[in-house]
Amino acid sequence: MEQYDILIIGAGPAGMTAAIYGQRAGYRTLILEEAVLGGQIANTPEVENYPAVGKISGVELGMNLYNQVIEQGAQIEFDGVVSAQLEGTEKRLTTQSGKVYAGRAVIIANGAKRRKLGIPGEETYAGRGVSYCATCDGGFFKGKPTVVIGGGNTALEDALYLANLCTQVHLIHRRDAFRGSKVLVDAVLAKENILIHYDTVPLEVLSDDGQKVSGLRVRNVKDDRQSQLEAAGIFVAIGLAPDNQLFAGQIALDPAGYIVAGEDCKTNLDGVFAAGDTRTKSVRQIVTAAGDGAVAAAEAGNYLMRQ
Ligand code: NAP
């Protein structure tokens, strides 16, 4: 069994920042990541609000962070955690490949996942027109009409990204005012090929041939009228959901499933910290995730010094 001082779950901005700080403080640090480097930023076409960096693609920002993690001497394994034993002074994480890692402290920075709509056809056509990542899948719909569902920053960014590729982007929002930031709303309003459908909810993913998406049936919530939008791709951007069932029973979760931890990133268990989108917090941004990573590593260091 491999032994570390700090085990980090997740290689997003929170986890990678925690690794930089943990390793620099002299602690042997390992990140375990189940999917891709960067977490949600890997799906972000352009980041414009990370201080001092200017405009950068999410993938490049993730790579920069990764390089910094490696330069500092921390390690990353692409192996998802399937079970966790977090109580006591020696914590253990078991991964998909069957390896068991022991750590004196654990930082959970596993982020959050895109929420699903739960409408007919969504699951059937997932990967065949229904997508949760515009930057990953947008290219498949070049020159075709698409739909984006949601009214937050992700939906606005997705619509802008797709507008440069697709003939038309239908942006569907269930209310008459966007939740996202003004700069993105203004950019969306200025795009000629983004057609906004306010007060509209999706009802059913449609397919002409039973193989791939051909459209979306929607309903206007004000007048109750239903209509069909032609689309080859449907991009769901209706927010995030935590993925913390693995820790339930050991770690306190809030009613929505996020880990209960304050600004000090401390959970109910000694030596276990939660950083970034995975914890109860009001502002979920890259900069706040990175801030959490630094705090969690510092608190983990304080905890280890007391051991
Ligand atoms: P979000 O801010 O939670 O917005 C989700 C949107 O989906 C809301 O407009 C919501 O409508 C709508 N929605 C939720 N459930 C729905 C349903 N079942 N059917 C139809 N619509 C539904 O989520 P997000 O845009 O993914 O962003 C997540 C976090 O990351 C936010 O804190 C966001 O600010 C941050 N983020 C920041 C940036 C940036 O700063 N550039 C970029 C991306 C994400 P209501 O408005 O009516 O609730």
Which one, of 283, 235, 297, lies nearest residue 103 by Cα? 297
Pocket test residue of 122, 131, 170, 238 for ligand 1, highest count of atoms within 8 A of CB: 238
pLDDT score of 146: 98
Query: Which residue spans within the chain are E strands per DSSP?
Result: 2-9, 29-32, 75-77, 81-85, 91-95, 100-108, 112-114, 130-131, 146-149, 169-172, 194-197, 200-206, 215-220, 226-230, 233-236, 240-242, 272-274
Q: What is the pLDDT of residue 79?
A: 97
pLDDT of residue 136: 84
Query: Which amino acid is located at 230 in the chain?
Result: E
User: Cα–Cα distance between 301 and 283 in angstroms, integer?
Assistant: 25
43, HSE (Cβ side, Cα atoms, 13 Å): 22
Rounded to the nearest angstrom, the distance between the alpha carbon of 303 and the centre of ligand 1 is 35
- According to the model, what pLDDT value does residue 44 have? 84
Closest by CA to 259, choosing from 32, 9, 5, 7, is 9
What is the set of active-site residues?
Answer: 133, 136-137
Residue 46: predicted pLDDT: 84
Best CA proximity match to 281, nearest among 270, 292, 296, 293: 292
Nearest atom within ligand 1 for CA of residue 47: 41
Is-above-0.85 flag for pTM? yes
> In whole angstroms, what is the distance from residue 172 CA to residue 199 CA?
8
* Ligand 1 center from residue 97 Cα (angstroms): 34
CA separation for the pair 253, 268 (Å, rounded): 10
Q: Which residues pair with 112 in a beta bridge?
A: 242
What are the pLDDT tens digits along the chain (307 aa)? 899 999 999 999 999 999 999 999 999 999 999 989 999 998 888 888 999 999 999 999 999 999 999 999 999 999 999 999 999 999 999 999 999 999 999 999 999 999 999 999 999 999 999 999 998 899 999 999 999 999 999 999 999 999 999 999 999 999 999 999 999 999 999 999 999 999 999 999 999 999 999 999 999 999 999 999 999 999 999 999 999 999 999 999 999 999 999 999 999 999 999 999 999 999 999 999 999 999 999 999 999 999 9
SS3 120: coil
Q: Which of 47, 153, 281 to mutate to test the pocket of ligand 1 (most atoms within 8 A of CB)?
A: 153
C-beta of 152 in contact with ligand 1 (< 6 A): yes
Render pLDDT for 75-121 as a digit per residue (tens, 0 to 9): 999 999 999 999 999 999 999 999 999 999 999 999 999 999 999 99
Q: And the tokens for 216? A: 């979306």
| Strand intervals (E) in 125-246 | 130-131, 146-149, 169-172, 194-197, 200-206, 215-220, 226-230, 233-236, 240-242
